Amino acid sequence: MHEQWEAAMRLALTQAHEALATDDVPIGAVVLSPTGEPIGFGRNVREADADPTGHAEVVALRQAAQAVGEWRLEGCTLVVTLEPCTMCAGAAVLSRVERIVFGAFDDKAGAVGSLWDVVRDRRLNHRPEVISGVLADESTRMLVDFFSQHRS
């Protein structure tokens, strides 16, 4: 099942790598249209833009909404290298994406099953499908390398 998402995750990994140029945490995202076409790309830009909401998922969702011409991203898929945090999981729910595909789990801030499970909360009016672990080793390796250089 993961194989069908690997090409999109590779696009997200490319975005994550580009975040390194601005010393941002290497997390990348892509939004796929209902037909599988990439319509939104994002990488962390918190450092680059001095923006606390500059997470890869939010950047990609904004770009996808502009491409579609509305905030509802029904039928779309959010692909991201790291499990979304509470803000990004909430943004995915509010944008009505059909599914979230992510690579590595985030035990410290993940909100799609690790620390919290925002997207499966039955009190919310929309619950996207979740597919986890796609190219998780590549995502994890990039993050481990980044933090080992920044904490030494």
- Beta strands 77-82 and 28-32: pairing type? antiparallel
The response to whether 76 counts as a known ligand-binding position is: no
Please say if 37 is a catalytic residue.
Answer: no
The response to whether 88 counts as a known ligand-binding position is: yes
Other C-beta atoms within 10 Å of 144: how many?
11
No. of H helices and E strands in the chain? 5, 5
The response to whether 85 counts as a known ligand-binding position is: yes
Q: Which one of 57, 74, 98, 129 is the catalytic residue?
A: 57
Report d(CA 44, CA 65) in Å as an integer.
Answer: 18
Residues tagged active-site:
57
- Binding site for Zn(2+), by residue number, is 55, 85, 88
Annotated binding site: 55, 85, 88
